[in-house]
Structure 1
Amino acid sequence: MMVGDKATSEATLLAHCKRIERIINESGDTIATAEALTTAGALAGLGNAVSACGEGQPFAATVRALATVAQQRRVAGGDAEVRKALAVAGGRDALFSPRLAALVLSSLDASTDPDFQSACIAVIHDVSEQCEPVSGHHSEGLDSASVANVFRTLCTYLVVPKVFSSDLQTLTDSNSWKRIHAFKVDAKHLIEIISGSLKRISETGLESETYVELLTRCAAFLGDADSKWTSEDGKKSATDLLLVLNQNGSKNSVAKYAKEILEINVKPHFQIAVSSKREVIRREERGSFGVKKTKKNRDLDHQQVFENQPWKYEVVECVAVFEWVCSQLKDSEIIPVQHLVIPTVLAMMDDYDPIYKSRGIRMFRDVVLKKLTAQDIRVSGLGNVFFETLRICLSHHSSPEVLREAYPAIIELVDTLELKGSRESVVKLSIIMEEGIIRGLRLAIGGKLEIIRTIVRTVPDLIDQLEACSIKYLEPVVVLISEVLELHEHDFETQLLCCHSLESVVATCWPRIHLYCCVILKACAAAWVHLDRASKAEEKDTRLINSKTTSSRGNLRSALQGLVSLLQKVCGDAMRDDADLLLSLDADVFGPLLAIAE
């Protein structure tokens, strides 16, 4: 096609686009618009014009014209010929669809209606799926810099919007929800456009910067565990893109580019937050030329630290990228990037938000403890730092989700770093027992059930690690857990946990348990009486029968009988007088409880 002919074709195409937009704007309703477009032959003329035109700005105008039709839903299927003509043009260029998407998106401003932008992307997505495969010589002729520029431009539109940093459960703004839904759909389409194009240019190598950017976008969507900004279909599309990247480049692209991904997309955003915190600490230590700081000023400083967290509010997908990349690395692959991983994990563990704190602790267990050896952690010199950070998490002020992650993590840390039974191990485990279990349970009784359950559930693991040294804490542990067992008469789950914990205490501390067998037996008897009353109430009124409750009650009954049986075997005659007393009070009620022990 000569230059003059091409210019004429482009002018004709633009004229057709404007004509379609004018017809739509002048028509009053769906039927009128469809009739007007059909009568005028506007779409047919547009299809012919596309076929005669080369790539460039006119194609972008065509997409916007089709999007106007699609977004207003006034023509169903009447634009098929135009889409087909665009697909033919795409068959001549492996980068046609990504280029077109980048061109269209760049031409839209920030005030563009999200629905219209989605309609534009949907049109290009449909066209990309209709494009015929490009022959090898077309792929080989592509400029790698041009390829990189197109894909990196599209990646900017796959960055998760800041609206996702808000609490979606309390979000009521309709425009925000419109953007949220549009992003999920658009992201899926854009990923598929990129993936489809990469399949057609497999012979062309991508620059490493482009690989890093594309892998980061995959990580952002695949790492969205709660599907906050990604649909299930979007995750499937991201998985397909990852497979294509692995085929085009390294078989394990994530491991190859992990350092670059973390240095570019994670480290800078966490560094700002850490630097702000350090500056506040320095100001507090240094003072301000001898001027005493007021509480208000100190509060403002700390508020500034909390607000200056770009990894949480500015780069919404930052944590998701970090978590996903680390999860993809094998044990040996973590070591080269541990200088990027450990500070980030510590920053998350030290955060004030329970959600991010618990995610940080989970990362500590899954990455630091499981993928690094004890020697690696010792060499880093951060073993005690992690211990003290987790120790703070055991405070009674912590939320249930933080405690659920912190207790197993700190016990596992001690088990990893210290030899079982050594002085260092006993000292650290004793701190956990005193500050976490005993103090925590004293303050938690009468409070949140999840906190009580988490603490009680931890006791067997801690007793197992302390072994004979746990006898030192026998009295407070037995008394507190027995109190919970006795008081929580309608909470079968908590009572069942108490039974299992007391069993571990009895089995480990058996040489001294006879001193406290009466405390345990009293709690078991009280719980048994409540079970008996509930069963009799159901016999009188069948409406009270609940299959789930009945099953839980049966499990608790078996657990109580097992605990009493173990207590009898360990204590022997020391328990006889208390057992006889219970039978003398009510043999019908307490007989089944003591039957296994008899």
Structure 2
Amino acid sequence: MDNRDSSPLQTTLAKLRIPAEFARYSAIAETEPETILRLERWKTQVLDVLSDLQAQLAQGQSLLLSEKAEVVSTIAPWDGVASWTLDSTREIVQSILHLYEDSDPPLLEQILSTHVKPIFQANAHPSLNPSTGRILPRSAGGPSARLDYMEGQTWKSHPGTVYLVTWCVRHCTSAAYEKLWHLIIPPVMTLLDDYEAAYKLHGVQIVSDMLRAVPADLLRRTGVDGLLFTSLTTCLTYLHNPETPSLIRAAVPAAVSLVLLTAPAGSEKRFNQLCEILGEGIIGSIWVYATRESEAIEASVDTLPTVVRALDVGAVRYLKALVPQLVFPLQPASGNVATKRFQLSSLHALAAVIEVCAPRIHRWKGAILDGVLRLWVTLADTGVDDDDTRELKHACMGVCDCLLKACPAVANLEYARLLDVDKMMFGPLVRQSGKGD
């Protein structure tokens, strides 16, 4: 039994525990100025405390497993961008956490079982067996389980725990997931299925990290693959929130990665799930119910190449929706308030659609060329030659190049006519296709 006096370390760590008020920081910013002032003062004093902790750990004294877990659990919440962090404090924390980069399963198990599980167990996810991490045949608690699950969320009074879960997932190896699964997946699913978009976003980001190492067989055996897929696609229905664009940009690639990991190539399951992401999630949800929110639409367009390339030629079934949506931001029409960044994103997505759907794209070559030509002429008429304009012009050339590869006949028809009309104007646009000077 080691009887070393660990009180100096414990005293230092106690000073670093994040006040619960930070969990509602944005909500009290205007209503409780005294509280905000106190929190800001505490935040600036933390730098000295972290420096003191760094000095203590630098002495080289061997720590017990429980002490290492205490250190990581206390400072991991500082390794992120949150209302209680500063750039200066984050740098010190990262240097301390570097000591635990090669975390072994016993340390992760100690952290998860001692510092994470007690916080989340009061709000057990109704679809999971907390002892095994397997999906339950029916939700625990009956039909109203979901509503009961959303009440009394005591874990939200521990604002740093989200970042601690993130740290554990990022340091969990593929081999360790089997043993730690019942400790990892419940808090992850609690975050992912929360009703607040901000917590859902944290959950999606953690799932993205998890999918880089988690064994596909483990996901399938426990039934969590289906649970994750449902939760990730549900994220695409959380519109009209400040976090919506970020949520879309994170959820779509995560959902695609999950499908590619757990559904066999060429299987009906993979095809149907990818169609659900594109057809029901992006087209049927975002493009239907967020038409007036350009940032959400732009975010969905940013993710299109990932989905389309995963779906491959199966994406042709959605050309009737894809092409008009991607062409519209390029046209100087009434109601079009697309930024140059949005236009660039649309061009990149359009190139991916042309490449993947080449066998059927000839039916849409006129619409595609019309949009690209209108943008090209608009850019030329402005006379601006900045980086954004040059990037847009290069993307227009890229679309024309993709169109030539998909429909070689355009070289002697549409492209040739363009050069006859105005070689100086359109020569650079089709030069990538070999028709310019």
TM-score by length of 2: 0.81
Q: Which residue of the partner structure matches residue 560 of structure 1? A: 396
Relative contact order higher in (CA < 8 Å, ≥ 6 apart): 2
Equivalences, count: 417
Q: What per-residue deviation string (whole Å, max 9, x for no partner) do you get for residues 313-371 of structure 1?
A: x222211222223323333334321211111111111112222211111111112x112
Cα distance, 1:383 vs structure 2: 0.7
Letter in 1 for 2:297: I
Q: Which residue of the partner structure matches residue 428 of structure 1? A: 273
Q: What per-residue deviation string (whole Å, max 9, x for no partner) do you get for residues 38-90 of structure 1?
A: xxxxxxxxxxxxxxxxxxxxxxxxxxxxxxxxxxxxxxxxxxxxxxxxxxxxx
Q: Which residue of the partner structure matches residue 320 of structure 1? A: 163
Letter in 1 for 2:168: V
1:449 maps to 2:279: no
Structure 1 377/562 Cα, relative in aligned 2: closer, same or farther at 3 Å? same
Letter in 2 for 1:457: D
Alignment of 1:391-470 (within 5 A): 391-395=233-237, 397=239, 399-440=244-285, 442-443=287-288, 446-470=291-315
CA distance in 2, matches of 1:445, 1:556: 25
Structure 1 529/520 Cα, relative in aligned 2: closer, same or farther at 3 Å? same
Cα distance, 1:168 vs structure 2: 4.5
Structure 1 165/532 Cα, relative in aligned 2: closer, same or farther at 3 Å? same
Letter in 1 for 2:152: N
Alignment of 1:137-148 (within 5 A): 145=3, 147-148=5-6
Structure 1 585/167 Cα, relative in aligned 2: closer, same or farther at 3 Å? farther
Q: Is the 8 A contact 1:326 1:334 kept in 2?
A: no
- Identity between Structure 1 and Structure 2 (%): 24
Larger radius of gyration: 1
One of 377, 380, 392 as aligned partner of 1:532 = 380
Q: Is the 8 A contact 2:290 2:296 kept in 1?
A: no
One of 322, 341, 348 as aligned partner of 1:500 = 348
Letter in 1 for 2:174: D
Unaligned 5+ residue runs, structure 1? 1-142, 287-300, 536-544
Q: What per-residue deviation string (whole Å, max 9, x for no partner) do you get for residues 532-575 of structure 1?
A: 3322xxxxxxxxx5x6xx22122222222332243244334468
Q: Which residue of the partner structure matches residue 167 of structure 1? A: 25
Q: Which residue of the partner structure matches residue 308 of structure 1? A: 152
Q: Is the 8 A contact 2:192 2:203 kept in 1?
A: yes
Q: Which residue of the partner structure matches residue 83 of structure 2? A: 228
Alignment of 1:50-129 (within 5 A): none
Letter in 2 for 1:428: Q
One of 358, 368, 383 as aligned partner of 2:201 = 358
Cα distance, 1:409 vs structure 2: 0.4
Q: What per-residue deviation string (whole Å, max 9, x for no partner) do you get for residues 192-243 of structure 1?
A: 54555566693xx65554443233223233x3x1153244454455466667
Structure 1 308/592 Cα, relative in aligned 2: closer, same or farther at 3 Å? same
Cα distance, 1:400 vs structure 2: 0.8
Unaligned 5+ residue runs, structure 2? 129-138
Q: Which residue of the partner structure matches residue 267 of structure 1? A: 117
Cα distance, 1:528 vs structure 2: 2.2
Q: Is the 8 A contact 1:478 1:520 kept in 2?
A: yes
1:381 maps to 2:223: yes
Alignment of 1:169-248 (within 5 A): 171-172=29-30, 173-193=32-52, 196=55, 202=61, 208-221=65-78, 223=79, 225-226=80-81, 228-235=83-90, 237-238=92-93
Q: Is the 8 A contact 2:249 2:302 kept in 1?
A: no
Alignment of 1:465-484 (within 5 A): 465-484=310-329
Letter in 1 for 2:269: E
CA distance in 1, matches of 2:423, 2:414: 13
